[in-house]
Chain A
């Protein structure tokens, strides 16, 4: 354990592409090139009948700064942030709980967490819609218990979108945090306690900093998809409330303003890159735990 850490610094500096071998060809063809193409398109001009006119323009980026678009972006960021915070608040204790169970129990619990994701996402969202509609079971229970006088309009609210995103993203928050907490040596917590720290201080001074890589991975794995998603927001938000994901989808679909859609995609990319950059400042990027 102590030997290997010394060699970490001297790891070989073969070009990344050479190390990855054939995989790099695949990545270049299907990830890098499309990505570059998106960036390229974002600087082009919108064709009159949709499509792209290949003349340079920053029109799309200026449109993003238009107050209407900008407020949607801000709102999307807010919803994604709330989702992420919810995922961390509920996910961390859950991850901790699972990580402290014996391995067999832990893997069963992880399985339980993942089972909903074996079902089709659209089916799941449809079920949600039925569940929360005006004459759905939730409203039925609430009105019959006398908690509310008349059925609540859950659908197409930011509130339901948030809950929907939260349940969708929770497993992706729990998994990296679980792996981080699970790796935490129990003897470090014992050492902390031995040196006089009560459980709260042990958590703040040892557990939290040492599981931070997992927490950050959880942030990236929830915040970015939550920001870019359009299925959840489309169905639970009913298209009534607009989010950045819906706008991108619409630009490529019905509205056919590809350069604007591309520019918005690039914006999402920049936000992602920024987050990862911040993280790599904090700790070595190789410590990042993505399951």
Chain B
């Protein structure tokens, strides 16, 4: 990655007694697509708003292009925002909305005209110049909002759940287009969403947040395959999480006793009697009709749903835990009530120490 463009150092945000962002450290590289992902109330939007300047950090330092920005008002910062509710000026036409930034900066009229045309072309909204925001659909409004921000050529574009109000199909399409825009323009995108799938498809890196803390920040594939905390494993994609105790540890291979039975997983740094979580993705799970080496975990099929591209099977362990299992081919012989033994490739399971709730 190239150089850092936004830096957060020990940033805290309090709303009264509410500690919304806790000692956050974050470095955002120039030209990257970084997503702040988390459930509502995790502090992701607050973080974004602090970078934009709409909120002041209670403590800590925020640097944009190496410059401290705490004392700068939003209009003095070299970042632009795409708002969740679009926030287009309802009394202005599409043209005037997009031209707002440059006209404030007193760019010559014909230069503005050229830039607006270029921007509307970029977001595929040419021909809508004279419309009022009222006369646009949600997707169109969002395109205009993006054009209105991008025309200022910001070094960093902040996007606050920009696709939240759109329907699924349009959202997918806009995800694709946003990614295309970001690659084409090479602008750093800081993107806030609670939709993990959206984060997966678009981001270079994802910062998973919970209760004002970044639980894990990494490339999407690492976040998915190697979640560091139970929360990340649970929040990103579907996961089966088994709580258990290490019964035996040898050569990085752990035998873990869970309420449902004995399982095996591969992990470094765990010792006997450690409390751990074992996270296994539904697609990494295997079932068989006889016990496999290292596993003695029985379950009963409770439901099987054919979904076109894949089949989802729900199982119930002996202790009552629900287990998700999926296959791309049709599953045979797994009708309701069938008893099976679970197993998996120990390398595909992720072991999360139960004691460490989170890491920065």
Q: Within 8 Å of chain A (Cβ to Cβ): is B110?
A: no
Q: How many residues of A contact B (CB 8 A)?
A: 20
Q: Specify which chain B residues have a CB less than 8 angstroms from the CB of A185 in the assembled complex.
A: 85, 87
CA distance A185 to B89 in the complex (A): 10
Expressed in whole angstroms, the minimum distance between the Cβ of B255 and any Cβ of chain A is 55
- Asked if B52 and A194 make an inter-chain contact with CB atoms under 8 angstroms apart, the answer reads yes
Segment with Cβ contacts to A, from B25-33, B135-143, B279-287: B135-143
- Asked if B80 and A194 make an inter-chain contact with CB atoms under 8 angstroms apart, the answer reads yes
Q: Specify which chain B residues have a CB less than 8 angstroms from the CB of A196 in the assembled complex.
A: 75, 101, 104-105, 152
Given contacts A190-B74, A196-B105, contact A209 B80 (CB under 8 A): no
- Asked if B138 and A193 make an inter-chain contact with CB atoms under 8 angstroms apart, the answer reads no
Given contacts A2-B137, A195-B152, A196-B152, contact A190 B83 (CB under 8 A): yes
Q: Within 8 Å of chain B (Cβ to Cβ): is A197?
A: yes
- Asked if A197 and B87 make an inter-chain contact with CB atoms under 8 angstroms apart, the answer reads no
CA distance A197 to B101 in the complex (A): 8
Q: Within 8 Å of chain B (Cβ to Cβ): is A187?
A: yes
Given contacts A196-B75, A197-B75, contact A191 B137 (CB under 8 A): no
Q: Specify which chain B residues have a CB less than 8 angstroms from the CB of A194 in the assembled complex.
A: 52-54, 74-75, 79-81, 149
- Asked if B138 and A188 make an inter-chain contact with CB atoms under 8 angstroms apart, the answer reads no
CA distance A2 to B135 in the complex (A): 8
Given contacts A2-B137, A196-B104, A198-B75, contact A210 B87 (CB under 8 A): no
Q: Within 8 Å of chain A (Cβ to Cβ): is B90?
A: yes
Q: Specify which chain A residues have a CB less than 8 angstroms from the CB of B91 in the assembled complex.
A: 209-210
CA distance A6 to B73 in the complex (A): 36
Q: Within 8 Å of chain A (Cβ to Cβ): is B189?
A: no
Q: Within 8 Å of chain A (Cβ to Cβ): is B205?
A: no
Interface on chain A toward B: helix, strand, loop, or mixed SS? helix
Q: Within 8 Å of chain B (Cβ to Cβ): is A12?
A: no
Q: Interface digits, A6-17 against B, CB 8 Å rule (1 contact, 0 not)?
A: 100000000000
Q: Specify which chain B residues have a CB less than 8 angstroms from the CB of A209 in the assembled complex.
A: 91
The chain B residue with its CB closest to the CB of A212 is B91
Q: Specify which chain B residues have a CB less than 8 angstroms from the CB of A192 in the assembled complex.
A: 89, 100
Q: Within 8 Å of chain B (Cβ to Cβ): is A5?
A: yes
- Asked if A195 and B80 make an inter-chain contact with CB atoms under 8 angstroms apart, the answer reads yes
- Asked if B85 and A195 make an inter-chain contact with CB atoms under 8 angstroms apart, the answer reads no
Within 8 A of B (CB), among A187-246: 187-188, 190-198, 201, 205-206, 209-210
The chain B residue with its CB closest to the CB of A202 is B75
Given contacts A2-B138, A206-B89, contact A195 B83 (CB under 8 A): no
Q: Specify which chain B residues have a CB less than 8 angstroms from the CB of A193 in the assembled complex.
A: 53-54, 73-75
A/B interface sample: 23 pairs, CB < 8 A: A2-B136, A2-B137, A2-B138, A5-B135, A185-B87, A187-B87, A188-B90, A191-B81, A191-B83, A191-B87, A192-B100, A195-B75, A195-B100, A195-B148, A195-B149, A195-B152, A196-B104, A196-B105, A197-B75, A197-B100, A198-B73, A209-B91, A210-B89
Which residues on B are within 8 Å of A, measured CB to CB? Answer: 52-54, 73-75, 79-81, 83, 85, 87-91, 100-101, 104-105, 134-138, 141, 148-149, 152
* Shortest 10 CB-CB contacts between residues of A and residues of B: A191-B87, A193-B74, A195-B101, A5-B134, A187-B87, A196-B104, A193-B75, A194-B81, A197-B104, A209-B91
Other A-B pairs, 8, CB within 8 Å; known A191-B89, A205-B100: A2-B137, A5-B135, A187-B83, A194-B52, A194-B54, A196-B104, A196-B152, A210-B89
Which residues on A are within 8 Å of B, measured CB to CB? Answer: 2, 5-6, 185, 187-188, 190-198, 201, 205-206, 209-210
